[in-house]
Amino acid sequence: MQMASTPGYDLLQEGKFALAAEQFEKQINQTDRPEKVLYYYLGLAYLLAGSEEEAQLTWFLASSEDDDDEAHEAADSLDNATAPTTLLTVLETEAAYFLEAEKREESWLISQHLCALAPDRLKCHLYAIYLSVLLQRLELDQLTALKESNLLNTSNQFSSEESKLLFDIVTALGDQNYPIDADLIGFIRDTATHLPDPSVLVPDLLPLAVFNSYARHRSSLGSELGELCLDLAGNNKLLRLGVLRELAPMQQNARLYEAGISSARQAVELSETTFNKLASNHILLRGLTGAGGHWDEALATLELQKSLLRAMIPDIGSLSHYDCMRLPGTLFFLPHFEDAPASNRQLQNQTMRAFCDNIARALQTELQDTQAAVSESDQKLKIGYLSHCFRKHSVGWLARWLISHHDKENFEVHLYSVNHSLVQDSLADWYRIYADELHEMGTNAVEIAQQIKQDGIDILIDLDSITLDVSCNVMCLKPAPVQATWLGLDASGIPTIDYFIADNYVLPETAQSYYSEKIVRLPETYLAVDGFEVGVPTLSRASLDIPPDAIVYFTAQRGYKRHIDNVRLQMQILKQVPNSYLCIKGLADQDAIQDFFKTMAAEAGLCESRLRFLPLDPSESVHRANLRIADVVLDTFPYNGATTTMEVLWMEIPLVTLVGQQFAARNSYTMLKNVGIEEGIAWTPEEYIGWAVKLGQDPELRKDIAWRLRQSKQTAPLWNAKAFTKQMESAYQEMWLKYKVTHSQK
């Protein structure tokens, strides 16, 4: 029921609530037998003017024929009364009006009273919840009240109006990337069962699950909401496939490894097209390697992945932009399984060339046709760094030294932090303080590229390589005249990237033959830091039940890096060094990784009591302090440690590494060379075992290496970030000079 235009009603809609109340009072006093609807609107004006008690009393008087004293006494119990339909209709009508007029506070206030006036009316509860979501003030009490009302305990389907309200609630949750919790998920589960087709909620709920899992770092809740989406998808095969491909990695991130592997297997089974098989198989491979202990299946899955990649390359141009964005990640695990850079990089270069063509065709027209400013000789060279890792992340810890040492007289440094809106940690705060220009960007590649062009960046440095689709998209759009990859991972193979920054050790001399990017070799090291923060250790030999005279070998990596052949070598080392133990730490399925190592020990004829499985540490600084438990650290192969290796060397602990041909198999090699340590560098599996045994049995050699590592902090290139920065800046200047010469000839 909506009132005809009157002075009071007009003032009400204008938001002049006190004046509206005066007009309604005047109209009532001037009428012999005023209609009750006038009292309803008078009470509404009181409510919106902030006089809640007067509003309740007015509504009660309008529906009561008792004397004034009784009316006043009963007014307090109005919340439990059954309100006349006309009053509810008035309040519902005006709540809808205020919402449409973008006056959400007013609509929300009315909705709360609708619930109190009609506690048995489902529509009122849903409307109040909807308004609370819009205003980011949903309270647990609202969900509890609905659950306790028994309104959801019947098998009846919602009316079309109630169904629309639930759909609006879910849409609002998704639009606002609402911070979900278990109670909210329970509410959605309880209400969705009453919809004629619950699957209509999935397109809004699934992105909300992904956002909470990744941007808010709430993997468990994201997984729970994803599992609800799978239930709601029912028998819709295509919808289930889409949900499973998002759900599996969320479960894996939440360390629900077996659930994540199971979801990925289901996705593989449902996949029919080559691309869907490729994307689903990658997620399965991610789960198998991340968990550890699934080696045979992981090997078979990798071979299938390579076959699918080769089959996919000719058809990449026909993929949708959304599907194409997933391609870079499908290459991620190739170097984890085999040291075959020539063949694997050829496959990666072909994939990324087709990927780049697709992305550029899809997005280039959205990029404004503006030219990046070209620096004159008397201007600073503008350097941009693009990454999602300007936070507590290996890249974040390592890149900060270059950023802090840049020559501000000759270089203007811009950081483009992707998906930055919800990054909140101490290292992210450091970048906010010390960066010349920190651009906190979202995930829209065109907007990021446009900002880079607008800033007139001369050289754009990608720190993410293939680990983030958004960064790949930005680099494909070529927003800067010169583009390079550094630090984050091996080169991506994107043809719009001109250079890959390395050194003389981390890539062999023949590497240029299989890189599409021009390799720039810095004169000493491709990476340097001034040191690491070290906390107070929480581990001791006594706490691990390790004898004080025992030799402790140590390995600390994610499940991704634990190659079965490398673990077999580690078992042989233990076998040859009596009274030795292996401490194992890293993200993985603890049950699966323990079973894996115990199986490997039994295969080598070792007792599993020689193994120690360490918990994760509360912080990076404590992790570094706890490295001191080790006598010798055993590196992984074919994917070496990088940040871990630097931390080990900073803590002055001998390291044994097996050197391969690919970038990922030579990180520890270049780091050892750049601290002046040759002991522990192995070129064959036999040398890997030999060095580890020798270091385990020779305490004097270990002491000598520790002393030299301590001394290296004064002179070694690996620990001289200031000198390294100058070398990087010289490389930038050479890149820019070459660009200017080439550009001037066109």
Task: Grade residue 4 by pLDDT with cuts at 50, 70 and 90.
Answer: low
Is residue 514 domain-shared with residue 585, that is, in the same domain?
no
Give the ranges where 364-444 is alpha helix by DSSP (H): 394-405, 426-434
At residue 61, the pLDDT reads 84
Is residue 562 domain-shared with residue 496, that is, in the same domain?
no
Is residue 446 domain-shared with residue 510, that is, in the same domain?
yes
At residue 177, the pLDDT reads 82
Residue 47 maps to a domain: no
Residue 395 maps to a domain: yes
Residue 15 maps to a domain: no
Residues in Cβ contact with 677 at an 8 Å cutoff, skipping those fewer than 6 apart: 649, 654, 655, 705, 708, 709, 712
List, for residues 487-501, the tens digit of each pLDDT value: 988 999 999 999 999
Instruction: Tell me if residue 634 falls in helix, strand or coil.
Output: strand
Cα-flanking dihedrals φ and ψ of residue 422, to 5°? -115, 15
Residue 675 has pLDDT above 90, yes or no: yes
d(CA 529, CA 401): 6
Are 514 and 341 within 8 A, CB to CB? yes
List, for residues 226-264, the tens digit of each pLDDT value: 999 999 999 999 999 999 999 999 999 999 999 999 999
Residue 490 maps to a domain: yes
Is residue 568 domain-shared with residue 699, that is, in the same domain?
yes
Residue 666 maps to a domain: yes
d(CA 340, CA 660): 9
Task: Grade residue 369 by pLDDT with cuts at 50, 70 and 90.
Answer: low
Task: Grade residue 746 by pLDDT with cuts at 50, 70 and 90.
Answer: low
Residue 155 has pLDDT above 90, yes or no: no
d(CA 570, CA 556): 13
Long-range contacts for 254-259 (Cβ within 8 Å, ≥24 apart)?
Answer: 254/213, 254/219, 254/220, 254/222, 254/223, 255/219, 255/587, 255/589, 256/220, 256/223, 257/287, 257/290, 257/291, 257/588, 257/589, 257/592, 258/291, 258/589, 258/592, 259/223
At residue 66, the pLDDT reads 43
Are 677 and 651 within 8 A, CB to CB? no
List, for residues 678-717, the tens digit of each pLDDT value: 999 999 999 999 999 999 999 999 999 999 999 999 999 9
At residue 579, the pLDDT reads 94
Residue with tokens 């295969």, as numbered in its chain: 603
Is residue 361 domain-shared with residue 371, that is, in the same domain?
no
Six token digits for residue 283: 């997620």
Beta bridge partners of 499: 484, 518
Residue 70 has pLDDT above 80, yes or no: no
In SS3 terms, 140-181 reads as: HHHHHHHHHCCCCCCCCCCCHHHHHHHHHHHHHHHHCCCCCC
Is residue 701 domain-shared with residue 555, that is, in the same domain?
yes
Domain at 492, CATH number: 3.40.50.11380
d(CA 113, CA 58): 14
Residue 482 has pLDDT above 90, yes or no: yes
List, for residues 592-647, the tens digit of each pLDDT value: 888 889 999 999 999 999 999 998 889 999 999 999 999 999 999 999 999 999 99
Residue 248 maps to a domain: no
Is residue 348 domain-shared with residue 374, that is, in the same domain?
no
Mean of the per-residue pLDDT values for the chain?
91
Number of other CB atoms surrounding residue 427 within 10 Å: 17
Residue 467 has pLDDT above 80, yes or no: yes
Residue 127 has pLDDT above 80, yes or no: yes
Helix, strand, coil fractions of the chain, as percent rounded to 5: 60, 10, 30
Looking at 365, 390, 407, which one is the last position of a domain? Answer: 365
Asked if residue 578 has a cis previous peptide bond (ω within 30° of 0), the answer is no
Is residue 331 domain-shared with residue 379, that is, in the same domain?
no
Residue 731 has pLDDT above 60, yes or no: yes
At residue 371, the pLDDT reads 55
Q: How many CA atoms lie within 13 A of 25 on its CB side?
A: 11
Domain count of the chain? 3
d(CA 222, CA 208): 8
Is residue 493 domain-shared with residue 603, that is, in the same domain?
no
At residue 80, the pLDDT reads 43
Instruction: Tell me if residue 442 falls in helix, strand or coil.
Output: coil
Instruction: Tell me if residue 611 falls in helix, strand or coil.
Output: strand
Rounded to an integer, the average pLDDT of 305-322 is: 95
Rounded to an integer, the average pLDDT of 395-402 is: 94
At residue 346, the pLDDT reads 96
Burial 431-456 (b: 16+ CB within 10 A, else e): beeebeebbbbebbbbebbbbbbebb
Residues in Cβ contact with 538 at an 8 Å cutoff, skipping those fewer than 6 apart: 617, 618, 622, 625, 626
At residue 526, the pLDDT reads 98
Residue 410 has pLDDT above 70, yes or no: yes
Are 290 and 257 within 8 A, CB to CB? yes
Q: Which domain holds residue 344?
A: 290-365
Are 499 and 517 within 8 A, CB to CB? yes
At residue 423, the pLDDT reads 58
Residue 127 maps to a domain: no
Is residue 359 domain-shared with residue 300, that is, in the same domain?
yes
Are 469 and 326 within 8 A, CB to CB? yes
Task: Grade residue 48 by pLDDT with cuts at 50, 70 and 90.
Answer: very high
Is residue 673 domain-shared with residue 555, that is, in the same domain?
yes
Residue 678 maps to a domain: yes
CA dihedral of residues 724, 730, 736, 741 (deg, nearest 10): -150
DSSP designation for 331: G
Domain at 610, CATH number: 3.40.50.2000
Residue 655 has pLDDT above 90, yes or no: yes
Are 159 and 196 within 8 A, CB to CB? no
Number of other CB atoms surrounding residue 63 within 10 Å: 17
Residue 465 has pLDDT above 70, yes or no: yes
Residue 429 has pLDDT above 90, yes or no: no
Residue 67 has pLDDT above 50, yes or no: no
Residue 76 has pLDDT above 80, yes or no: no
Looking at 365, 396, 430, which one is the last position of a domain? Answer: 365
C-alpha pair distances (Å), 127 with each of 104, 107, 169, 492: 12, 10, 8, 50
Residue 744 has pLDDT above 80, yes or no: no
Is residue 500 domain-shared with residue 556, that is, in the same domain?
no
